[in-house]
């Protein structure tokens, strides 16, 4: 295993930029924010007044017994102020709770929506586990930041200012000098050491996200891990990230202990000097016993939250580190965006035209070269070719998962880059080669094609896809859960659910991207007729590997290295004796060989029985 080392995180967003990104979400409830701040000030005023009342009580009692009178009003005022200090604080928290939770909700839904708006290119590169962890930590960071920054740092600073003003107005200047020097030393130590410690927190976050990504990826591919007996390999990979996380966590904790020790030393020196000054004033007669108690109480009220302020500042920095990745997701560029003033697509009879289309996934990797073809309204054009010839790229471009590098794609004369993505994708239905299902019921997965559809329409779509009888044979019928990515179903069953989902959508344009590739020959033949019925009066683009499934296509395009090498119907292409003819003969030979093997398998048991 490689030695453990800390990885320096990449450049991070500015903390103030992260805070500014959050501020707009607070103003949905301006009244609550203002009221919470008013309650905050009232709570601190009550808190600062308590030592002043306590001083008067002590001085009233520190008299000869003959002159002593129970200060009833002062005692009552002391109790009321104590209660108000707590009451105003609790009211403040209650008033601000909705602001915090709504901000978390708004940011989370915005990030979630933005992730769906990002291009397929981003999602092919992302790591799901790390992204989900970033959102989870970022949401927690928002809650901590809002509550502690507004209700701990601001109140503490306000209390420090009030206490300093009282001490300056009533006592020797040295009291204020000691307080300010102590505060300056404490804050300087906290800021310097905390900034240094942030590298450990960011490393912990990075390793946590990477470990979570690897764990989710491994669990999603559970069967593959088992096939190759790589459980120990997966555990070692996971532990590599956890080792780095452990190293960063240990350094984070030990540096925290050092910071706390330094903070305590500074506070101890400051408190000792203040008490020494106050005691000296009492002995000299310049200060009363109540003044000594006042200074001591102020010190307790001041340095306790100040000590907590160090923790809060550290946690706020951690929260900002947690939030920066989540807000970084919002900064991801939306590669495919609607143009200003984009109109809705009017599919009508949905004639499709590819016009001199060139496309590259990467600048140095061109996939399509000058591709031009038409799919008449209601027509069926099939595309065949070897793997990597660019067949599936045509479907992705028609769906506008990517924009063409040059050329145009038109639907009824409307350039798809000029219309809204929502209206375009509403008009196009697809049955992909590898159908991924939600970890929900079969009914949910079919109804996903058109969530507002009635139950009868969902069941009719299932019948059209020849899956209704299978579903009805299950114990839980349509409420059967399909598992993560639909793994509880066979490949053919998943594909039938995907076909039912596309049928339910009722799109004007249908794309079959090797839609029957996961079906056996018998199932394929039984469903081909249904697919043909579904495609009637719909413009259809069929991407196929088995040529037998597209012999009835109006036109067949043979792709080779991103170009259309041949075009024509089945008979014309066979007569041309080119690439299509070669592929057809090859597949026919393979089919004959398979059938011969099946016949031999059936004959062997019969022969064995006769011999017996």
Give the pLDDT confidence of 534-546 residue by residue, as tens digits: 777 788 898 888 7
Per the prediction, the chain carries an average pLDDT of 78
In contact, 427 and 347? CB cutoff 8 Å: yes
Q: What are phi and psi of 541, to 5 degrees?
A: -115, 115
List Cβ neighbours of 320 (8 Å cut-off, separation of 6 or more): 15, 18, 19, 141, 145
Per-residue pLDDT tens digits for 79-108: 888 888 888 888 887 888 778 778 777 777
pLDDT digits (tens, 9 = 90+) for 439-488: 888 898 898 888 888 999 999 888 888 888 888 898 988 898 888 767 78
**β-sheet bridge partners, residue 408:** 355
**Phi, then psi, of 204 in degrees rounded to 5:** -60, -45
DSSP 135-147: HHHHHHHHHHHHH
| Helix extents (H) in 427-550 | 442-447, 455-464, 468-472, 491-505, 521-535
Residues 558, 579: contact at Cβ < 8 Å? yes
Return d(Cα 503, Cα 449) in angstroms, integer: 8
Q: 194 is written with which tokens?
A: 């905390």
Q: What is the pLDDT of residues 168-196, one digit of tens each?
A: 778 788 887 887 788 788 888 887 887 77
Tokens of residue 188, six digits: 């300087």
Beta strands in 53-209 (DSSP E): none
Largest CA distance in the chain: 129
pLDDT of 21-62, one tens digit each? 677 777 777 788 888 888 888 888 888 888 888 877 877 776
Q: 3 φ, ψ to 5°?
A: -65, 150
pLDDT digits (tens, 9 = 90+) for 266-288: 888 888 888 888 888 878 878 78
CA dihedral 187, 193, 194, 199 (to 10 degrees): 160
- Would you say 441 and 480 are in contact if contact means Cβ atoms under 8 Å apart? yes
pLDDT at 230: 77
Mean pLDDT of 333-349: 80
Cα(537)–Cα(378) distance, rounded to whole angstroms? 5
Closest CA to 158 of 275, 42, 312, 304: 42
**Helix (H/G/I), strand (E/B), else coil: 455:** helix
**CA 360 from centroid of its chain's CA atoms:** 28
Any alpha helices (H) in 333-436, and if so which ranges?
391-398, 421-426
Quote the CA–CA distance of 502 and 541 in Å, as a whole number.
14
- Cα four-point dihedral sign 415, 406, 535, 424: negative
Cβ–Cβ under 8 Å, residues 346 and 535: no
Q: How many residues does the chain have?
A: 612
Mean per-residue pLDDT, 420-435: 84
- Beta partners for residue 430, in sequence order: 511
pLDDT of residue 455: 92
Work out the average pLDDT over 374-386. Answer: 89
Domains, the chain: 15-330 (1.20.1560.10), 336-427+522-572 (3.40.50.300), 433-506 (3.40.50.300)
**Residue 353: strand pairing partners:** 374, 410
Strand order in the sheet with 509-513: 428-431, 509-513, 539-543, 380-385, 555-560, 563-568
Check pLDDT > 60 for residue 610. Answer: no
């Amino acid at each position: 295993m490689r030695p453990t080392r800390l990885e320096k995180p990449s450049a991070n967003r500015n903390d103030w930029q992260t805070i500014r990104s959050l501020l707009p979400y607070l103003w949905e409830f301006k009244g609550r924010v203002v009221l919470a701040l008013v309650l905050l000030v009232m709570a601190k005023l009550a808190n600062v007044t308590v030592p002043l009342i306590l001083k008067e009580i002590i001085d009233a009692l520190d008299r000869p017994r003959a002159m002593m009178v129970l200060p009833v009003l002062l005692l009552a005022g002391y109790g009321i102020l104590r209660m108000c200090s707590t009451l105003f604080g609790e009211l403040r928290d209650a008033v601000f709770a909705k602001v915090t939770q709504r901000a978390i909700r708004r940011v989370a839904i915005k990030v979630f929506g933005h992730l769906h708006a990002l291009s397929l290119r981003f999602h092919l590169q992302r790591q799901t586990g790390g992204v989900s962890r970033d959102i989870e930590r970022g949401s927690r960071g928002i809650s901590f930041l809002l509550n502690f920054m507004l209700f701990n740092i601001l109140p503490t600073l306000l209390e420090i200012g009030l206490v300093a003003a009282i001490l300056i107005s009533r006592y020797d200047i040295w009291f204020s000098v000691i307080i300010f020097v102590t505060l300056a030393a404490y804050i300087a130590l906290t800021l310097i050491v905390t900034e240094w410690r942030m590298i450990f927190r960011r490393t912990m976050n990075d390793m946590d996200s990477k470990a979570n990504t690897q764990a989710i990826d491994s669990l999603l591919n559970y069967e593959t891990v088992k096939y190759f007996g790589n459980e120990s390999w997966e555990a070692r990979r996971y532990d590599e990230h956890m080792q780095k996380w452990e190293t960063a966590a240990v350094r984070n904790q030990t540096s925290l202990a050092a910071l706390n020790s330094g903070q305590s030393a500074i506070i101890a020196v400051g408190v000792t000097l203040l008490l020494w000054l106050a005691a000296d004033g009492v002995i000299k007669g310049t200060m009363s016993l109540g003044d000594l108690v006042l200074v001591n109480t102020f010190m307790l009220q001041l340095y306790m939250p100040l000590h907590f302020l160090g923790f809060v500042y550290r946690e706020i920095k951690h929260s900002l580190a947690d939030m920066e990745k989540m807000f970084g997701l919002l900064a991801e560029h939306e590669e495919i965006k609607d143009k200003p003033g984009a109109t809705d697509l009017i599919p009508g009879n949905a004639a499709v035209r590819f016009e001199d289309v060139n496309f590259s996934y990467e600048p140095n990797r061109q996939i399509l070269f000058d591709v031009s073809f038409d799919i008449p309204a209601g027509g069926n054009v099939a595309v065949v070719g070897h793997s990597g010839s660019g067949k599936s790229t045509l479907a992705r471009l028609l769906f506008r998962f990517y924009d063409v590098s040059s050329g145009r794609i038109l639907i009824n004369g409307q350039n798809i880059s000029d219309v809204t993505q929502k209206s375009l994708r509403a008009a196009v239905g697809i049955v992909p080669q590898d159908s991924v299902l939600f970890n929900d019921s079969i009914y949910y997965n079919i109804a996903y094609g058109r969530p507002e559809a009635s139950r009868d329409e969902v069941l009719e779509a299932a019948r059209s896809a020849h899956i209704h009888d299978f579903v009805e044979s299950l114990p839980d019928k349509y409420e059967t859960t399909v598992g993560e990515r639909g793994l509880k179903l066979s490949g053919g069953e998943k594909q039938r659910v995907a076909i039912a989902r596309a049928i339910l959508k009722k799109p004007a344009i249908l794309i079959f991207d090797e839609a029957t590739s996961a079906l056996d020959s018998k199932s394929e033949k039984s469903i081909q007729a249904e697919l043909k019925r579904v495609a009637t009066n719909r413009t259809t683009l069929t991407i196929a590997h088995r040529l037998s499934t597209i012999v009835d296509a109006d036109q067949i395009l043979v792709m080779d290295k991103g170009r259309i090498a041949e075009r024509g119907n089945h008979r014309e292409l066979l007569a041309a004796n080119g690439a299509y003819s070669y592929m057809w003969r090859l597949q026919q030979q393979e089919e004959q060989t398979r059938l011969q093997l099946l016949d031999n398998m059936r004959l062997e048991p019969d022969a064995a029985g006769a011999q017996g």
